[in-house]
Amino acid sequence: MANSGLASKLSNGAFVVTAELLPKASASAGPVQEAAQALGKTVAAVNVSDNPFGTVTSSLAACAVLKEAGIEPIYQLVSRDRNRIAIQSDVLGAATLGIQNMLCLTGYHQSLMGYPESANVYDIDSVQMIAAVQGMNAQQTLMNGEALEGDFGMTIGAVVNPYMRPLPLNIMKLAKKVQAGATFIQTQAIFDLGPFTEWLEAAKNESITDKAAILAGVMPLESAEEAEQLRERFTDFAIPDSIIERMKGAGDAAAQKAEGIAICVEVIGQLKGTEGIKGIHILSGGREAVVPELMTAAGLS
């Protein structure tokens, strides 16, 4: 059974904070160790992105480095690059290393990742991956029925974009992930609270928030230019014009970075205490050192 530290915190009603780590293309543990030192032990658990934004990395190896540093990892795994055999072997590898949390994703299309010539796999999607890992949890078997040795237990998470419309389709897909076995949901970064609140109400009406812990994504933007680039390249980033104009109006690079943190603190303040929200997930875009600063500013540390 899944008995990770993250699972315990989610079940005891605490306001949970997780963060992400974007590993670099490196054959050394050094960059992950540096990020781990920057993060410290300020958060409940740290996601390790799987080949993020076209950077070739090993999420599994980085998770092992985090665990050695005393930080609880969340192993991210995308189905874009693996068939069901590779997915199951990687999940078993994670369990063998003592990793007890994972986030199941389908992944961006490879054309957005800097490798347009790469062949995608997509043998199974995120819902099917969740179901497969839940089968390993509940039945202690692989997808072909083969029995597992050892005591397998993984806390399973999933991702949702609360801005995806039509809303009924969004909620239907989320419900499938929860039904398949996801016990925590991390959302994409929230900047526009109006549509997010609409999504949250719909999730509550379907009792999804009673069945899975919602961790609302937040992101401290570094500049107006970054905000514009994210919005233009990825549909997951719904950043209003008002945010971009506010960033531009802050002044130079240092002032814009400070304004980005201030905006993020305001969003956290509005999310904290909201019914249906069990915590936040900090998306730092590879700037792990900003996480402790943000948590202090938001009164979370």
Tens digits of residue pLDDT in 179-231 = 999 999 999 999 999 999 999 999 999 999 999 999 999 999 999 999 999 99
- CA atoms in the 13 A half-sphere facing the CB of 253: 1
pLDDT in the model for residue 160: 98
Q: How many CB atoms lie within 10 A of CB 205?
A: 10
pLDDT for the residue numbered 113: 62
Non-local CB neighbours of 301 within 8 Å, separated by 6+ positions:
42, 292, 295
In this prediction, residue 190 carries a pLDDT of 97
pLDDT of residue 120: 80
**Whether the model pTM is above 0.85:** yes
**Helix runs in the chain, H state only:** 5-11, 30-39, 59-68, 84-96, 126-138, 167-180, 193-205, 208-211, 224-233, 241-250, 253-271, 290-297
Q: What's the first-to-final CA gap in the chain, in angstroms?
A: 30
The stretches in the chain having pLDDT less than 70 are: 1-2, 52-56, 108-114
| pLDDT for res 292 | 95
- Per the listing, tokens 């812990």 go with 213
The CATH number for 271's domain is 3.20.20.220
Q: Which of 62, 29, 28, 27 is nearest to 46 (CA)?
A: 62
Q: State how many domains the chain has.
A: 1
pLDDT for res 182? 98
What H or E segment, with its residue span, contains residue 214?
strand 213-218
- How high is the pLDDT of residue 111? 61
Domain that holds residue 268: 5-297
Question: What is the per-residue pLDDT for 40?
Answer: 84
